[in-house]
Structure formats: structure tokens, C-alpha cells
């Protein structure tokens, strides 16, 4: 029987690999203007991602710095962080909000760079791409593993900002990760009587776990 903890762990083991592979994939889009823009976005990010992964001489700290820069420029971190607060979006003070955004970015970088160290010869195939007007696109892909395990479907939600696409969310094993994190973050705040500092403490603890080489408890709400 597959437990909820195992499902959560599976998603967070696969998601960093999926993101990395999406960054190095060649995407065939469905429409001319929106599709070409999405393809150009992926191709640009691909080269930079490959450079980071291929640099075996770089330390973990150097790779984290490079990956952080890549996320800043290619993922809509402010939108993701705001979305994850749900009904508590207006709860933090300006100082708390600034610290929260910094911690979320650090949290994602620490988790993903740790997982990228396990990157292997898995293959990502693009299955389809659907556009929503000229502002959004959902790219469906599939990870095929060299060890014979069953393929995993991964969907990418891209949002166009000021002419460029950015990553907003990733769906692994049927769950949108930003939406799941929203459930976790809002639960942490709610379980602590609406205290936003509890969420900041939660993020610090998960970052410390990642720095210690442990697996962050990404779905815990306490």
C-alpha cells in the first residue's frame, strides 16, 4: 500500500529531475507566436542549465548560486511565493514579506541542487503543448527512466510576463507542487494561530535540513 508520505517523497524526488530535464528539452509548441516564444524560452534556459550541470569543477555553493540566478530569471518566484500564501497574502509586514521571499528562494535552491546531484541518463519526452491565449502554456512531458521503472508524466505551467515565459508551477504524479506548497504554508500559519513568524521558522528549519544533507520535510505543516 502506498502511503501519503511515500507519494509526497516521490513527487519531491522526481520534481527537481523533471525541472532539470525540462530545461534541457527541445519543445515543439502548438501555435506559431506563443509556441515559438515558449520554444525560445526553453532553448535559452537549456543552455544555461546544461552549463551548470556540466561544470564538475564547481562547488555545491557555486552551483547553488548559479541555480539561484537561473530561477530568478526563468521562474516567476514572486508570483509563486505570493500564491503559496493563499488567504494570508496580506498577513506579513513588509519586513516579513521580504524575508519570506528570500527564504522561499533559498529553500527551492537548496532542495533542487541537492536533488540534481542524482541526475542521470533519464530521458524527457514532450507529449503535447496547449496554449491559453498568448499569455500561458501547459507543456505535457514524460520522464523515462533508464532503470526500467514506469514513466512519470510531468506538466509545466508557463506564464508570459513582459513578453517572456516564466515557470509558474509543475505537476508531478497529478499534483501541482505550488498548490501543494500553498496548502502546507497556509496550514503552518493557521496551526499557529495566524502567526506569520511560524512560517518563517518552518522555512528556516527545512533549509537547515537541506544544508545538513537531510531531506526537507516539504509537506509537513508543523
**pLDDT, tens only, 12-51:** 555 555 555 555 444 333 344 676 666 666 656 656 765 7
pLDDT grade, residue 11 (50/70/90)?
low
| Structural domain boundaries in the chain | 4-211
pLDDT in tens, 152-178: 787 878 898 777 888 898 887 788 888
pLDDT grade, residue 70 (50/70/90)?
confident
- The pLDDT value recorded for residue 149 is 77
Question: Is the pLDDT confidence value at 80 over 90?
Answer: yes
pLDDT in tens, 99-151: 999 999 998 888 766 665 555 556 667 677 778 877 888 877 777 777 777 88
Alpha-carbon distance of 79 to 159, in angstroms, equals 10
Alpha-carbon distance of 216 to 208, in angstroms, equals 8
- The pLDDT value recorded for residue 17 is 54
Interval 179-205 mean pLDDT: 96
129 and 138 in contact (C-beta within 8 Å)? yes
Alpha-carbon distance of 5 to 48, in angstroms, equals 33
- The pLDDT value recorded for residue 222 is 56
CATH architecture of 4-211: Roll (3.10)
- The pLDDT value recorded for residue 103 is 96
Contacts of 202 (CB under 8 A, 6+ apart): 185, 188, 220, 222
pTM to 2 decimal places? 0.75
Angle between helices 177-191 and 196-211 (to 10 degrees): 120
- The pLDDT value recorded for residue 30 is 35
Amino acid at each position: 500500500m502506498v502511503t501519503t508520505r511515500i507519494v509526497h517523497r516521490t513527487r519531491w524526488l522526481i520534481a527537481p529531475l523533471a525541472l532539470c530535464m525540462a530545461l534541457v528539452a527541445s519543445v515543439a509548441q502548438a501555435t506559431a507566436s506563443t509556441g515559438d516564444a515558449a520554444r525560445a524560452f526553453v532553448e535559452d534556459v537549456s543552455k544555461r542549465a546544461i552549463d551548470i550541470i556540466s561544470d564538475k569543477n564547481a562547488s555545491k555553493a557555486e552551483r547553488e548560486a548559479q541555480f539561484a540566478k537561473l530561477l530568478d530569471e526563468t521562474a516567476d518566484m514572486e508570483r509563486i511565493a505570493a500564491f503559496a500564501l493563499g488567504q494570508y497574502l496580506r498577513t506579513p509586514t513588509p519586513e516579513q514579506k521580504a524575508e519570506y521571499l528570500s527564504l522561499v528562494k533559498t529553500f527551492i535552491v537548496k532542495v533542487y541542487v541537492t536533488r540534481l546531484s542524482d541526475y542521470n541518463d533519464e530521458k524527457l519526452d514532450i507529449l503535447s503543448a496547449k496554449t491559453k491565449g498568448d499569455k500561458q502554456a501547459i507543456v505535457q512531458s514524460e520522464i523515462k527512466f533508464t532503470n526500467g521503472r514506469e514513466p512519470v508524466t510531468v506538466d509545466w505551467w508557463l506564464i508570459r510576463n513582459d513578453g517572456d515565459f516564466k515557470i509558474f508551477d509543475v505537476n508531478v504524479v497529478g499534483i501541482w507542487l505550488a498548490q501543494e506548497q500553498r496548502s502546507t504554508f497556509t496550514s503552518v500559519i493557521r496551526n499557529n494561530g495566524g502567526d506569520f513568524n511560524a512560517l518563517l521558522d518552518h522555512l528556516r528549519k527545512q533549509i537547515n535540513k537541506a544544508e545538513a544533507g537531510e531531506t526537507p520535510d516539504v509537506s509537513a505543516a508543523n
